[in-house]
Structure 1
Amino acid sequence: MLAFIGGTGLNQLPDFHVERIAEVQTPYQAAPVRIACGTLPGVSGQLCFLPRHGEGHTVPPHRINYRANIFALRESGVTAILAVNAVGGIHREMGPGVIAVPDQIIDYTSGRAHTFFDGELTDIDSPDRFTASVTHIDFTEPYTAILRELLLQSAKQSGVPVWSGGVYGATQGPRLESVAEVRRLQNDGCDMVGMTGMPEAALARELGLDYASVCLSVNWAAGLSDDVITMAGIREVLAQGMGQIHRLLITAAGLFREKG
C-alpha cells in the first residue's frame, strides 16, 4: 500500500476521501499516530495520508517523532512512501516554484532519534522485533530508484515540470539558515535545503519501505537573492506549487496501483 507524507503546505490532501482514521500505537510515544486511510478520485484501492507536522501543522521539524510516524505506517500495511518537502533553493535551477525529485541527501541534523536500532531492547509486537544488535543499512542511494522513476514518469504524464536529481541538505531548524551556512551547504554540494528529509528517509530504509521525496522550492536560500525571506512569500509559493504537487501525486498513485 502507498502512503503520502505531507509537509508544509500539504497538511491535508485535496479530494482525498477519508474512509477511516487509524490510530496506531507505537513504542516511541504515548499517543497513537493518526493516519488517514481512504481513496483518491480515479485511483483504485486504498491509500494512506500522514501530515508530518501533525494536525493543524503544530509540530516543528526538530520535534517530529519520525520513528513513531514511520513505524506506524509500516504497521498499517504501507510498503511505499512518497514524501512531500518544502525546501529552499540553492542550485541555480531551484528557484521558487521549482519542483525537484532529489536523488541524494546530506544530514546536518542533530539530537534526533534517527534509528530503530539504537542499542536498546524494544518489545515490539511485530514479525521482525528490533533488538540491541548493531545494524548498518546500505544508504548508498537514499531514495528508492523505482519510486523516483515513478515520480518522474508521473510528472511527464501530468504535465508537471520537475527537476530530476539534486542533493537535499537536511538541517535542524526550525530557524532558517544564515548566509554562511548556505555557503557551506553550497560548497558541500547541496542543491536544496530543508528540515524534514532526515531521519525520515533512513528510518524508512531500516524498515524496508520504499521511499522517495518530491520537493517544492519555496524561496531562494539565504544570500542567494536580494529578496527578503518572509513567511508571506513562502505561503504564496506554496499556494501556487501545491496544486502541481497534488496532480503529480494523484498520477503517481495511479501508476503505483497499475504496477502492483
Structure 2
Amino acid sequence: MLIDFALIGGTGLDHFALKEQRVISVKTPYGTVEATIGKDTNRELVFMSRHGQNHATPPHLVNYRGNIWALRELGVRKIIATAAVGSLSSNYRLGDLVLLDQFLDFTKSRPQTFYEGGTDGVLHVDMTDPYCAAVRQIIINASEHLGLVVKNGACYVCTEGPRFETPAEIRMFQYLGADLVGMTSVPEVVLARELGMCYASIGMVTNEAAGIADHPLSHSEVMESIKKLEIDVAQLIQATFELLTPSQKCLCASANAEVGKF
C-alpha cells in the first residue's frame, strides 16, 4: 500500500470527510499507530488524528515519532497539517488562516529525532526552511482559487503544554520574534523532514495569547473559534490535495542524505 498524501489534524476538521474510510493499524518501532485511509475525490489519503479519539491525548504525550514513521511506511511524501494557534501579534487576528514558515522550540520532554546514534546513526538535519515552501505555494494557489485569504509566513513558537502560557512567557516570545503560539508542530515538522517528507502547516488563529486577550483563556473559547473556521479549512484542504502532485521538486526528500556521516 503506497499513498502519497496525508493530513494530520483533528480539532477543526469535522467538515473534512473522507469517503470509503477504513481504519488500519501500522506497527512502528515506537508502537502501533492507527490511521484512517479514505478517498477525497478520486485519490486515496491518509488521515492521522494527532490527539486520538475524543481529543484524549495531550500535546506533550502525542506519539509524534510513531505517527510520522507510520505515514512514511504507508508511502506518504507530502503532509498537510492543521493547528489551532494563539496570536502574539496584531498582524494575526481571530479567524485568520496562516501558513507557518519558521518555529521556535520551547518543548521540554519530547523525543526530537529518529536518529539517536548507534546503528541508527546521527543526523543534524537542516531546518533552514522547516515548512516546505513548495507545498505552501500550492496551498496559496488553492486559497486564491477559492477566494480565501491565507497569510503566508509566520514564526510559530511551540510550547510544551498542556497548560496555556503565562503573560511573561508571551512577552518573551514576542521579544524573540514569534507571531503565533501552539503546542504541536514540534517535533512533528522535524521528524517529517528527517524521513524526507514535505510538510506544511495551516495555522488557525483561535485565540489571543495571555496578556493580549482581556479575559482568561479557555479551551472552550478555542473550540468556539474553530467552529467558525471549519468549513473554510475543509474547503482549503480539499482544494490543496486536488492540486498536489507526488513529485518533490524541493530539498525535503534529500534531507537525510547525511545521516551517519558524523
TM > 0.5 fold call: yes
Q: Once superposed, what is the RMSD of the aligned Cα atoms?
A: 1.6
Q: CA deviation at 1:8?
A: 2.8
1:202 aligns with 2:184: no
Write out per-residue CA displacement over residues 18-42 of structure 1, whole angstroms, 9 at most, x where no aligned residue.
Answer: 442221000112xx211111112xx
Distance 1:35 1:235 in 2: 23
Tell me the residue number matched to 2:60. 62
Tell me the residue number matched to 2:12. 9
Tell me the residue number matched to 1:103. 101
1:150 aligns with 2:138: yes
**Relative to structure 1, is the Cα distance of residues 17 and 227 closer, same or farther in structure 2, using a 3 angstrom cutoff?**
same
Q: CA deviation at 1:7?
A: 3.8
Correspondence for 1:184 among 172, 191, 198: 172
Q: Give 1:50's aligned amino acid.
A: M
Q: CA deviation at 1:15?
A: 2.6
Correspondence for 1:24 among 15, 26, 48: 26
How do 1:34-53 residues align onto structure 2 when only pairs under 5 Å count? Answer: 34-40=34-40, 43-53=41-51
Q: Quick check: 2:12–2:229 contact (8 Å CA) kept in 1?
A: no
Task: Work out the number of aligned pairs and report it.
Answer: 245
1:93 aligns with 2:95: no
Distance 1:87 1:7 in 2: 14
Q: CA deviation at 1:45?
A: 1.4
Q: Quick check: 1:7–1:86 contact (8 Å CA) kept in 2?
A: no
Q: Quick check: 1:44–1:254 contact (8 Å CA) kept in 2?
A: no
**Relative to structure 1, is the Cα distance of residues 20 and 120 closer, same or farther in structure 2, using a 3 angstrom cutoff?**
farther
Distance 2:54 2:118 in 1: 33
Distance 2:7 2:15 in 1: 9
Q: Quick check: 2:15–2:230 contact (8 Å CA) kept in 1?
A: no
Deviates more, 1:151-160 or 1:66-75: 151-160
Q: CA deviation at 1:9?
A: 2.8
Q: CA deviation at 1:13?
A: 5.8
Q: CA deviation at 1:231?
A: 2.4
Q: Which runs of 5+ in 1 are unaligned?
A: 122-130
Q: Secondary structure at the match of 2:185?
A: coil
Q: Secondary structure at the match of 1:106?
A: strand
Q: CA deviation at 1:258?
A: 9.1
TM-score (norm 2): 0.89
Q: CA deviation at 1:94?
A: 1.5
Q: Which runs of 5+ in 2 are unaligned?
A: 249-262
Give percent identity, aligned residues only. Answer: 38
Tell me the residue number matched to 2:116. 118
Distance 1:37 1:249 in 2: 16
Q: Secondary structure at the match of 2:53?
A: coil
TM-score (norm 1): 0.90
Tell me the residue number matched to 2:252. none
